[in-house]
Amino acid sequence: MDTPSLHPSLHPLIPGQKLAGDWFNGSVPGNIVVGPGTMINSSACFKEYRARGAVGLQIGEHVTIWGASLCPEAEAIIEIGDYSYIAHASLACTSRITLGKRVFVSGGVTITDCDFHPLAAAARMFDSIAISPVGDRSRRPFMEARPVTIGDDVWIGYNATILKGVHIGSGAVIAPCAVVTGDIKPNTVASGNPIWHG
């Protein structure tokens, strides 16, 4: 039995189910684990969901996902802790992205554990051909992925970017528009583009 929503635009997140009244004609993936009380506004959040493992997304209790883009690749997993709120953010993952409990992710935020393209010019050209409509995606060059870990009670401000291999300590605040390329200590306020890690 579906749990009624206290907010008319939010729906209980149930693995493998369609959302009643969803404007997007999609389904929630079956390979997710969801705690009680977790809500989502639309299955459009899974438009780029490609995880093929037993679990591609693990979400705790009483999480709210609003207009986010959850994009784990075939072998990846995204973990979101209890009482977190993800609003209009993008989580793009080829290995692992882990958010702790009570993490607030603001609109326009990007969290990624990979560059998703090579850095060298010749390799970028080769990759562009491989992902084109006439290309062969299996021939894409190797791209390094390093897990991203975000501790409990972190707030990530509007349009911030968290890049591969970053660890953000519990209680940290990431300022709007910050670009995080290295670790952030717990209970600190970090700002800058990019943030200086001296």
Query: Which residues have a catalytic role annotated?
Result: 117
Q: How far apart are CA 187 and CA 198, in angstroms?
A: 18
Burial of 139 (0-12, 13-18, 19+ CB in 10 A): exposed
Q: Contact at 8 Å (CB) between 193 and 179?
A: yes
Type of residue found at 189:
V
3-class state of residue 82 by DSSP: coil
Distance (Å) of CA 193 to CA 103, 156, 162, 181: 22, 14, 11, 9
Round to whole Å and give the CA distance between 20 and 162: 33
C-alpha–C-alpha distance, residues 114 and 148, integer Å: 9
Q: Which residue from 29, 81, 92 is spatially nearest to 56, judged by alpha carbons?
A: 29
Amino acid present at 162: I
- Give me the amino acid identity at 198: G
